[in-house]
Amino acid sequence: MNDFKKRLIIELSITAIVIVALLAGILFFKGNVDDYIARITQTRALLASRTQALNNLALLQRQYNVSVQTDLNALQNVVPTYDSLINLNAELQSLAMPYKLGYGFSFAGQTSPSGNSLGSLGYNLTITSGNLPDLLSFLKALTNFHDLSSVDNVSIRSSGGQLNLAVNGRVYYR
């Protein structure tokens, strides 16, 4: 029986060693599995937030493109090309005609467009009238000119019962 006890002790020892090794393996892998589950959960949350950020970016890009296209169309309608300014004198004179004003026009220089900046075509107007409200009405019509323009300098002087309006301005072009 001694042999039986010896064999039983050896087999119980081997079984105990195997069980301890299995328990150690289970605890080790359980810890790693929990760590991997936490990493996967964190990665999924990060992926979801990045996906949401990309969706928001795409939405902003679409809104920006629509806005830019609308603004670009409006700009195309307001800012003429250089070639369309060939009749600038006649267009400005047509503003003075309803008020029966004396009209003089001269070009005052040109700035070419470069990069993102517009070019400009300067002009000088000399308008004469005996009636101040007509001059002011012309000036208001000039400031509402259909092309993108600016009135840089205005002066009024009286000479022999006539009012002389001198206007320096520019019309911008692309």
- Write out pLDDT tens, residues 98-128: 988 999 999 988 998 888 788 999 999 999 9
pTM of the model: 0.57
Label residue 166 exposed, middle or buried (CB < 10 Å: 0-12, 13-18, 19+): middle
Question: Cα dihedral angle (162, 150, 146, 116), rounded to 10 degrees?
Answer: 160
What pLDDT is attached to residue 1?
A: 63
Q: How confident is the model at residue 70 (pLDDT cuts 50, 70, 90)?
A: confident
Average pLDDT on 133-138 reads 90
Domain residue spans of the chain: 1-78, 83-173
Q: Evaluate whether the domain defined by 83-173 bears CATH number 3.30.70.60.
A: yes
CA proximity to 125, closest of 85, 155, 148, 157:
155
- Quick check: 32 pLDDT over 70? yes
